Amino acid sequence: MSLLALPSLFIFVTFAVVPLFGVVVLSFTKWDGIGDILPNGVDSWRVVLADPMTWHALGLTLTIMVASWLVQTPLCLLLGTFIAGHQRYRSVLAVLFFLPLLLSSAAIAIAFKSLLDPNFGLGAGLHLPILNQDWLGVDLAFPVVIGVIAWQFIPFHTLLYQGGVRQIPVQLYEAAEIDGAGRIQQFFTITLPQLKYTVITSSTLMLVGSLTYFDLVFVMTEGGPGNATRILPLDMYIRGFKANQMGAASVLAVFLVVLGLAMALGVQRLGGKDKAASQLEGM
């Protein structure tokens, strides 16, 4: 019987568990990506921790994390509640709302890059000065990236909230109506508290996920202009695969692992429930 688990276990350990420990080992070495790997003690750590770029990248990542949560969560909550209703037009809207889920990050990045182009994009073509900004310039690139990330991920979380709302027993609403509670009151006294575990699940995925927005930012800005959108995973990529400092990049990878775990545990603690229970009830 145990033999049946071997293929799965073997490939998983080889290409996921071993690299996880490997990255810690590599963070104490010096390697240019091609030549020999030499032990290097804590030098890479010292270099990375002393480099202002690290803190800049970490700051951007944390900002994206917080901003994404603040932008996406209220919108997803409201949209999810809205399309949980069974009116026909709402179901049609829901089908369209989920379209961004079908696109790859690379596709979304390219679409918005051309849409926002200052010379030939939407703003220029429609001659609307307010739309005609240098969207991917130094000042606006970072907020625009946050906006495009929201565009990409709001459908997924809306889908979660839609599922959550549909699980709320309808008797609660009936009782509230008998008590004369209005729609907004019902939202705050029934819908929101009942969605507690969906909020926890969605927030965990959002916060942990925001550590990994690599594809989109890479294709859209490559970390630029300057270093305006050089978030942590991009900083890791650039140091490792462009500057050939795999040791330093591994240090940043360790950062990512630790941050991800801390975030996942933190949100669960905040919710006051262990992971299994919250996920079960979230759907």
Partner 1 sequence: MTDVMPSTSTHVKNVRDRGRRGVGRPNVLGGLLGWFWLAVVIIPIYYVVVTSLKDQGGYFAGNPLALPWPPKMDAYIEVFNNKILMYFTNSVIVAVGAVVPIVLFAFMASYAIVRGHGRFLKFANGLFLMGLAIPIQATIIPIYLMITKMGLYDSLLAIILPAVAFGQPLSVLIVSNFLRDIPKELFESMRLDGLNDWQIMWRLAFPLTSPALVTVAIYNGLNVWNGFLFPLILTQSPDKRTMPLALWAFQGEYTVNIPAVLAAVIVSTVPILVLYVLGRRQLLSGLTAGVGK
Residue 222, H or E segment: none
| Minimum gap (Å) between residue 225 Cβ and partner 1 | 17
CA R_g for the chain:
23
Q: Which 25-64 residues touch partner 1, going by CB under 8 A?
A: 26, 33, 37
Six token digits for residue 74: 């209220």
Nearest residue (CB) to partner 1, 54 versus 81: 81
Binding status of residue 241 toward partner 1 by CB under 8 A: yes
| Residue 112 and residue 148 in contact, taking contact as beta carbons nearer than 8 Å | yes
Measure the CA–CA gap between 104 and 215, rounded to whole angstroms.
9
Q: Which stretch binds partner 1 (CB under 8 A): 46-54, 61-69, 114-122, 266-274?
A: 114-122
Nearest residue (CB) to partner 1, 115 versus 134: 115
Six token digits for residue 113: 């890059």
| Minimum gap (Å) between residue 56 Cβ and partner 1 | 18
Nearest residue (CB) to partner 1, 33 versus 137: 33
One of 93, 140, 190, 277 touching partner 1 (CB under 8 A)? 93
One of 244, 260, 273, 277 touching partner 1 (CB under 8 A)? 260
| Minimum gap (Å) between residue 7 Cβ and partner 1 | 5
Six token digits for residue 9: 């276990």
Q: How many residues bind partner 1 (CB under 8 A)?
A: 101
One of 9, 49, 138, 270 touching partner 1 (CB under 8 A)? 9
Q: Which 151-190 residues touch partner 1, going by CB under 8 A?
A: 151, 154-156, 159-160, 163, 166-167, 170-171, 173-174, 177, 183
Measure the CA–CA gap between 113 and 129, rounded to whole angstroms.
18
Show the DSSP H helices in the chain as ranges: 6-12, 18-26, 43-50, 52-84, 88-97, 105-115, 122-126, 141-166, 170-178, 183-186, 192-194, 196-209, 215-220, 232-237, 246-271, 275-282
One of 126, 192, 243, 270 touching partner 1 (CB under 8 A)? 126
One of 47, 58, 71, 75 touching partner 1 (CB under 8 A)? 75
CA angle 194, 196, 199 (to 5 degrees): 125
